[in-house]
A and B are shown apart, each in its own frame.
Chain A
Amino acid sequence: MKQNQALFEYLLRLGDSNMILGQRLCEWIGQAPALEEEMALGNLALDLIGQARSWLEYAARVEDAGHSADELAFTRDERAYRNLLLVEQANGNFADTLARQYLFDQYHYHLLGALSSSTDAQVAAIAAKGLKEVTYHLRRSSAWIKRLGDGTAESHAKMQQAIDEIWTYSGEMFIADEVDRVLAAAGIGADLDPLQRLWEADVQALLAEATLTCPPLEQYMQRGSKQGLHTEQLGFLLAEMQFLPRAYPGASW
């Protein structure tokens, strides 16, 4: 695999995971449990969509096929999307959203930390900028996991259930394929093995602090997004997200 082709794939993965999680979080608007929480989730979504934009703009340049970042986001179909299965999962209840968010934030934090020293200057710059935002995202989602895990009997039960249910989508982040290997070897992408060890140690420590039980690390993990194989959740999300630009191409305000 050529390095440029691998880089394009890699940038799509980074951009798509941010884009889809940002879109998911937007679904909370008007429905969050408190006004303060709604603003926080909205801010979080905007941070992620902003990062998606940077990654996809760079992806469009690397692809060099005349596509814009908007076209990449709004005209690719499900099988061409490269976001992690984890981030496309439905919002569920507040604990489900937080479980998904925390597991992603913890990964995102270490990933951007590693990418900040990428040999590709553009990757390093986007990662360093995003890392400041993600440091705060992680702080916020970990605080909520602790509050709910170590809260009332009901919040503990719901938080534990949320972690248990989303867990099967957490392992995919660390399953490297050829794209990961080519770019890690070139010093452009992150080496996923050390990342996984950092993630596991942090997640285990936080769940213990939150009085929650960490599910087994070796259980079977769902996979497929790196090849464009998604769960049934993604199609519905894309249908809503892409409706406007597809029905009214070139629409602007």
Chain B
Amino acid sequence: MTDWTLFEVFVRSKHGLNHKHVGSVHAADAAMALENARELYTRRSEGVSLWVVPSALITASSPDEKEPLFDPSDDKVYRHATFYELPKDVGHM
């Protein structure tokens, strides 16, 4: 079982919500990964739907690129919609 593939697991907790990453499992193929994910991540009724994706297929940003990727947005507060006065009728947004 040393040659099993690593899969990332995504669980949708309720209809209408997005699938959320919860962790990973090892399995021989995708079908087994789904079953293993069911055993590990949904035994306390956490979900209504499961996705599994081979970890190798995920392209991730590198921690080294953190500054060029994310820092420039820190001083651009105008990108947040905090400068508008909301009409009372709109309520929470």
A43–B36 alpha-carbon span in the complex (Å): 11
Q: Considering the complex, give the chain B residue whose CB is closest to the CB of A46.
A: B43
Nearest residue, chain A, Cβ from B36: A36
With A33-B1, A34-B4: A40-B28 Cβ-Cβ less than 8 Å: no
Per the 8 Å Cβ criterion, residues 92-143 of A in contact with B are: 140, 143
Q: Does A221 contact B (CB under 8 A)?
A: no
Residue of chain B at shortest CB distance from A35: B26
When the two chains form their complex, are residues B36 and A147 in contact, meaning their CB atoms are under 8 A apart?
Answer: no
B31:A40 contact, CB within 8 angstroms? no
Question: How many residues of B are in contact with the other chain, CB < 8 A?
Answer: 13
Question: In chain A between 9 and 40, which residues have their CB closer than 8 angstroms to a CB of chain B?
Answer: 33-37, 39-40
Q: Is the interface of A mostly helix, strand, loop or mixed?
A: helix
Q: Mark A37-56, 1 if CB is under 8 A from B, else 0.
A: 10110010000000000000
Docked Cα-Cα span, A40 to B40, in Å, equals 8
In the complex, chain B residues whose CB is within 8 Å of the CB of A147 = 28, 32
A40 to B27, CA, bound (A): 12
Q: List 6 A-B contacts (CB under 8 A).
A: A34-B4, A43-B43, A140-B35, A143-B35, A147-B28, A147-B32
Q: How many residues on the A side are at the interface (Cβ–Cβ under 8 A)?
A: 11
Interchain CB contact (< 8 A) of B27 among A33, A36, A39, A140: A36
* 5 tightest Cβ-Cβ pairs between the two chains A and B: A36-B36, A40-B39, A39-B39, A34-B1, A36-B25
Give me the interface of A with B, judged by CB distance under 8 Å: 33-37, 39-40, 43, 140, 143, 147
Tell me the bound Cα distance from A33 to B4 in angstroms.
12
Contacts of B40 in A (CB 8 A): 36, 39
Additional pairs, 8, CB under 8 Å, beyond known A36-B25, A40-B36: A33-B1, A34-B1, A34-B26, A35-B26, A36-B36, A39-B39, A39-B40, A147-B28
The contact string, 1 if C-beta is below 8 Å from chain A, for chain B 6-49, is 00000000000000000001111001100110011001000000
> What is the distance, in angstroms, from B3's C-beta to the closest C-beta of chain A?
11
CA distance A37 to B33 in the complex (A): 11
Determine the residue in chain B with the shortest Cβ distance to A36: B36
Name which residue of chain B comes closest to A147, CB basis: B28
Q: How far is the CA of A147 from the CA of B36 in the complex (A)?
A: 15
**Least Cβ–Cβ distance between B43 and chain A, in angstroms:** 6
Contacts of B1 in A (CB 8 A): 33-34
Residue ID in chain A nearest B2 by CB atoms: A34
Which residues of B lie under 8 Å from residue A39 when comparing CB positions?
Answer: 36, 39-40
Known: A36-B25, A147-B28. A43 touches B35 (CB 8 A): no
Contact between A36 and B31, CB atoms less than 8 A apart: no
What is the CA–CA distance of A147 and B29 in the complex, to the nearest angstrom? 11
Bound-state Cα–Cα, A140 to B31, Å = 11
Within the assembled complex, what's the spacing in Å between the Cα atoms of A39 and B36?
A: 8
Report yes or no: A36 in contact with B26, Cβ–Cβ below 8 A.
yes
- Please give the distance in Å from B10's CB to the nearest CB on chain A: 17
Residues of B within 8 A of A37 (CB): 36
CB distance from A9 to the nearest CB of B (A): 34
In the complex, residue of chain B having the shortest beta-carbon distance to the beta carbon of A40: B39
